[in-house]
Amino acid sequence: MSILRAIVGGIIGAVVGYLAAAFLSNIVMGWYGVSDFEGGRGMAAVFGFGPIGGLAGLIGGIWLGLRLGGKQPIGRTLRRAGIALLAILAIAGAGLAIQYYSIPHRLEYDEAGASLEFELRAPASFAMPEASAIDITLDTDLNQQPGIWNDSAPHLDEDWQVLSGTVELYYRTSQRFLVFRFPDGRDRLFRPELAAKPDPEQGWSAWRKVDFVGLPDQPQTVQPGPEDPLELRYRVRVWGSE
């Protein structure tokens, strides 16, 4: 119980110490004429004196929590204080990790965004519609991003009809589906094999077949059939690169 009291006391002490030190230091610096130009005084209070007060409160809170358990040998007190400190650090680390992974992160390469360039092809015998009749979206667990076509109509490449397009890769996530909504009511879904932050140097992928098909009268996707002879390849291009 004394360790638990020390953990609770340390957390409360750190929070109270930080807030008190930041608040009081801001007032005292104002008394001594420290300028608050562009928030300088507040920054000093928050990032300078606040952490000092938080550390003092942490130590004081752990000491008080152990003290409430009665007088103990110095060796046992130090061991329990060390355990409490490690537990508090673990809790803080877990909180920071949860916060980090709960916030969507923008996909950037040296502050430049990136797009997924793709080519969709079908056999020459397939009734490929005009590009304007096919809607494109990149569906992720974080957003749905519309894509655009570079071509207005398919062009022939040997025995294939090919359409090219692009869509922005906005968030860092490995859960992506490139969805083509055809006027026949069948949505062709491709799952690009891309990491959360893919390597643009990998170039074009191999051609891959449709992964799933969405139908308007079915809540679940189905496996592709002979009506879905399309193939896709893709690459990541960083904005501003050739």
**Based on the domain organization, do 14 and 74 belong to the same domain?**
yes
- Asked if residue 108 is part of any domain, the answer here is no
Do 171 and 227 reside in the same domain of the chain?
yes
Indicate if 128 and 232 belong to the same structural domain.
yes
In a domain, 109, yes or no: no
The number of residues making up the chain comes to 242
Which residue stretches of the chain have pLDDT < 50?
Answer: none
Q: Which two tokens stand for residue 189?
A: 């879904």
In terms of domains, do 159 and 53 share one?
no
| Distance separating alpha carbons of residues 208 and 233, to the nearest angstrom | 6
Residues 186, 233 within the same domain: yes
Say if 47 falls within a structural domain.
yes
Per-residue pLDDT at 69: 67
Tracing tokens 């230091």 back to the chain, one arrives at 25
User: For the packed helices 2-31 and 74-102, what is the interaxial angle rounded to 10 degrees?
Assistant: 70
pLDDT value, residue 120: 97
Give CA torsion, residues 100, 103, 108, 113, to 10 deg. 180
State which residues form the domain around 55: 2-102
Half-sphere exposure of 160 (CA within 13 A, CB side): 13
User: Quick check: pTM over 0.85?
Assistant: no
Structure confidence at residue 36 (pLDDT): 65
pLDDT value at residue 98: 75
Query: What does the pLDDT look like over 207-239, one tens digit per residue?
Result: 999 999 999 888 899 999 999 999 999 999 999
The predicted structure's pLDDT at residue 146: 96
Nearest to 137 by CA among 45, 214, 199: 214
CB contact at 8 A, 237 and 150: no
Q: Which long-range contacts (CB under 8 A, 24 or more apart) does 72-77 make?
A: 72/2
For the stretch 14-28, what's the b/e string if a residue is b when 16 or more beta carbons lie within 10 angstroms of its beta carbon? bebbbebbbeebbee
Tokens 């667990």 -> residue: 141
Which ranges of 133-176 would DSSP assign to H, the alpha helix?
A: none
Task: Tell me how far apart the alpha carbons of residues 140 and 169 are, in angstroms, rounded to a whole number.
Answer: 10
119 and 209 share a domain? Answer: yes
Residues 37 and 140 in one domain: no
Q: What pLDDT is stored for residue 104 in this prediction?
A: 64
